[in-house]
């Protein structure tokens, strides 16, 4: 403490300069991916340890559930599956019809997206931001900007990938904007996060726009962030304010933000990893990659 090396104030000064340099490089330039990945090897065990109690709790719930509740679950799931199958039959004929019509119009058919299920680690990053950590990373072929869904709608997109985990931003984060369109009439706009997981804001629609409460918003596919046509939110209130140029429209996200344990990751056609990097569940990958010749 007393005589070795530079004085305490000098050391603090040097470290402060280092930190500011790091912040500049990381935030303005994004140069520090390798540093972050090296350090994330040390941080990953902590994330896993923190996630353990809730995982154990879930496991105990599974292991201790009674025969009766399992049977109830089973019948309910059977019913749901039957319903889903019936819908899927219709979807297949519709898909075929759609492809035929698109062929007539000489436009490229929409391709199936590759999908992977990831689990959310229960880790709180920052109370003022809506971020989450999932248990898939570079090893599974994730990339920055990848769309993330759950069973009901869009959850968010991947912002940072590490070897075994990834960080994602949710659509309700105040820093996130989702390009959407109204399913009923195709009117395009942008849905902003508010920092409240039950509300999205649509601030860019004029007072006379054709929008009403109950309208479904789906991803518009513009901006290349999300694939086209996944549900995002349902319009809750439309407040037309005379004297203001834009209406105040609030929507309620379809996805169960903050309540789900699992999310689906979607690869868009041009980002599907080839079979050399990914060996497992290759059948979907092959179709998609084979058909993914982009138009000139």
Partner 1 sequence: MSNRYRIWPVLAFFLVAMSLEVAPMPEAVAPWRPPWVALSVIYWSMHRPGRYGVGVAWLIGLLLDVLKGAVLGQNALSLALAAYVTIKLCQRLRVFPIWQQAISVSLIIAVLGFFGFWIDGMTGKLQGGWLRLAPVISSMVVWPPLTWFADRLVASRVRR
- Least distance between partner 1 and beta carbon 55 (Å): 11
237 closest CA partner among 220, 227, 222, 252: 252
CB nearer to partner 1: give 23 or 88: 23
Question: How far is the C-alpha of 17 from the C-alpha of 80, rounded, in Å?
Answer: 59
Site string for partner 1, 198-217 (x = CB under 8 A): --------------------
Considering only the stretches 16-24, 207-215, 217-225, 243-251, report the one whose residues sit in contact with partner 1 under the rule CB under 8 A: 16-24
CB nearer to partner 1: give 9 or 61: 9
CB nearer to partner 1: give 150 or 173: 173
Confirm if 212 and 238 have CB atoms less than 8 A apart. yes
CB nearer to partner 1: give 114 or 160: 160
Site string for partner 1, 255-274 (x = CB under 8 A): ---x----------------
Max distance between CA atoms of the chain, in angstroms, equals 83
- Least distance between partner 1 and beta carbon 104 (Å): 47
135 binds partner 1 (CB under 8 A): no
- Least distance between partner 1 and beta carbon 191 (Å): 18
Site string for partner 1, 55-94 (x = CB under 8 A): ----------------------------------------
Question: How far is the C-alpha of 232 from the C-alpha of 17, rounded, in Å?
Answer: 43
Confirm if 172 and 142 have CB atoms less than 8 A apart. no
22-51 residues in contact with partner 1 (CB under 8 A) are 22-23, 25-27, 32, 35-36, 39-40, 42-43, 46-47, 49-50
252 binds partner 1 (CB under 8 A): no
129 binds partner 1 (CB under 8 A): yes
- Least distance between partner 1 and beta carbon 259 (Å): 11
List the one residue from 113, 160, 171, 179 that touches partner 1 (CB under 8 A). Answer: 160
Site string for partner 1, 172-201 (x = CB under 8 A): --xx-------------------x-x----
CA atoms lying within 13 Å on the CB side of residue 91: 7
* Residue ranges binding partner 1 (CB under 8 A): 1, 8-9, 11-12, 15-16, 18-23, 25-27, 32, 35-36, 39-40, 42-43, 46-47, 49-50, 54, 122-129, 131, 133, 160, 167, 174-175, 195, 197, 258
């Amino acid at each position: 403490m007393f005589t070795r090396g530079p004085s305490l104030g000098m050391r603090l000064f040097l470290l402060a300069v280092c930190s500011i340099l790091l912040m500049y490089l990381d935030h303005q330039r994004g140069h520090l991916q390798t540093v972050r990945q090296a350090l994330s090897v040390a941080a990953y065990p902590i994330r896993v340890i923190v996630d353990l109690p809730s995982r154990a709790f879930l496991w105990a719930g599974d292991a201790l559930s009674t025969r009766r509740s399992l049977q109830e679950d089973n019948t309910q799931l059977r019913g749901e599956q039957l319903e889903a199958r019936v819908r899927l039959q219709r979807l297949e004929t519709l898909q075929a019809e759609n492809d035929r019509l698109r062929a007539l119009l000489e436009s490229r058919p929409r391709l199936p997206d590759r999908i992977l299920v990831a689990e959310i680690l229960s880790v709180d990053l920052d109370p003022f931001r809506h971020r989450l950590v999932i248990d898939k990373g570079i090893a599974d072929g994730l990339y920055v900007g990848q769309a993330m869904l759950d069973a009901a709608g869009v959850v968010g997109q991947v912002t940072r990938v590490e070897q075994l985990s990834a960080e994602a931003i949710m659509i309700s984060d105040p820093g996130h904007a989702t390009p959407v369109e109204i399913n009923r009439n195709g009117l395009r706009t942008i849905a902003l996060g508010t920092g409240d997981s039950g509300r999205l804001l649509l601030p860019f629609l004029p007072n006379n726009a054709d929008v009403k409460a109950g309208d479904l918003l789906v991803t518009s596919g513009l901006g290349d962030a999300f694939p086209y046509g996944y549900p995002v939110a349902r319009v809750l209130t439309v407040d037309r304010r005379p004297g203001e140029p834009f209406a105040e429209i609030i929507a309620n996200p379809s996805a169960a933000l903050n309540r789900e344990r699992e999310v689906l990751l979607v690869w868009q056609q041009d980002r599907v990893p080839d079979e050399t990097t990914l060996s497992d569940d290759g059948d979907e990958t092959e179709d998609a990659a084979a058909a993914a010749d982009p138009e000139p």
